Amino acid sequence: MSDASKPNAGVVLGPDGKPCKPCTAFRNWNPTGAKKGVAKKAPTAAPPEDCPPDVEQMGRATWTFLHTTAAYYPEKPSPTHRANMLLLLKAIPLLYACTHCADDFGKDIAVNPPDVSSRTGLSRWLCERHNEVNTKLGKARFDCSLNSTDERWKDGPADGRCD
């Protein structure tokens, strides 16, 4: 932060009232790099690889983990699979470091409980939850058919460029 007593515009505060790095986009954190006289390459740059994640980097990593896990979840899950997937999803509102993201996700899944009954059901449910966040952020919604989620997270496109 350039001045601890006055956060930059766009910096999101955590529950402790302090600036929350994983709740904030890096471009808003310290656009001038004023604290240590470090010039940033561009105000919109993502954090360097060896820096703590911002809200966007952590979001991409988390969605990648969750969608890929859903894509490989069994079509006929055992009771143990179901129980552990439920635990994983219900832990996010408690543990996710972007606290306002966690709160909103908790409210969403309270109204739309996780479908852990099958790979198909879970992939669609997760896609719809991600779409809720996309809509909140003004981003395009994703096609939640199994063909689309499998193409993105499991099989890759038909042109073979990911093979």
Ligand X SMILES: Cc1cc2nc3c(=O)[nH]c(=O)nc-3n(C[C@H](O)[C@H](O)[C@H](O)COP(=O)(O)OP(=O)(O)OC[C@H]3O[C@@H](n4cnc5c(N)ncnc54)[C@H](O)[C@@H]3O)c2cc1C
Least gap, CB of 145 to ligand X (angstroms): 11
By C-beta, is 4 or 137 nearer to ligand X?
137
By C-beta, is 36 or 163 nearer to ligand X?
163
| CB-CB contact of 23 with 98 (8 Å) | yes
Kindly provide the b/e burial profile for residues 61-77, where b requires at least 16 CB atoms within 10 angstroms of the residue's own CB. Answer: ebbeebbebbbebeeeb
By C-beta, is 88 or 133 nearer to ligand X?
133
Least gap, CB of 37 to ligand X (angstroms): 29
Residue nearest to ligand X (CB): 59
Question: Coil, strand or helix: which one is 47?
Answer: coil
In whole angstroms, give the CA distance from residue 119 to residue 155. 14
Least gap, CB of 116 to ligand X (angstroms): 16
Least gap, CB of 38 to ligand X (angstroms): 24
By C-beta, is 34 or 51 nearer to ligand X?
51
Length of the chain measured in residues:
163
Number of helices (H), then strands (E), in the chain:
6, 0
Least gap, CB of 15 to ligand X (angstroms): 15
By C-beta, is 2 or 62 nearer to ligand X?
62
| CB-CB contact of 67 with 128 (8 Å) | no
In whole angstroms, give the CA distance from residue 8 to residue 19. 9
Q: Which residues contact 33 (CB under 8 A, 6 or more apart)?
A: 39, 40
Residues that bind ligand X (CB under 6 A): 55-56, 59-60, 62-63, 67, 92, 100-101, 104-105, 127, 130-131, 133-134, 137, 139, 142, 149, 152
